[in-house]
Amino acid sequence: MMPSFKVTILALSLSVFSTASFAQNKEELRLQQLIFDTQTLIPTIQEIDGSFNKKIQTIPYEYFQVAENLREMDKIARNDFSKREAVLAFEKRCSLNKKVITIIKALCLTHYLQNIPKEKRKAESKEYSAEIINLTRLIIEES
């Protein structure tokens, strides 16, 4: 006995929904993993203090990885409001965290400001020191 046309359409619809739902969950998990990994990578002032020779001008790998993770988080969250809110919350927390080194705060602030509406940027910028704002401007000019 052949299944009815309606049953076949329903089965196909469920299959498509299930696949889309799986992709959505996979992307959500990837975003959560990126946020966790980035939090783990961000060096604090205490961790950096005295950990490398200041005469040698090197940029630690973690800084590059944090920047790459921020770009990927922005990309994942670009078209999804709830994901975007999670990323914005992370970027703002990072940029205001007093334990985080200045350059990483500036990276987080750069991504945060680029992802909020333009009319909110000036008001949001008032929460930050001149040093962080200047570094953020430099990062934006260079990108």
pTM: 0.73
> What pLDDT does residue 54 have?
54
Task: State how far the Cα of 31 lies from the Cα of 46, in Å rounded to an integer.
Answer: 27
- Spell out the domain ranges in the chain: 28-142
Unique residue bearing structure tokens 């927390």: 93
- Roughly what angle, to the nearest 10 degrees, separates helices 61-77 and 5-41? 150
Over its length of 143 residues, how does the chain's per-residue pLDDT go in tens digits?
445 444 444 444 445 445 556 667 888 899 999 999 998 888 887 777 655 555 556 677 888 999 999 999 999 998 898 999 999 999 999 999 999 999 999 999 999 999 888 878 887 778 899 999 999 998 888 76
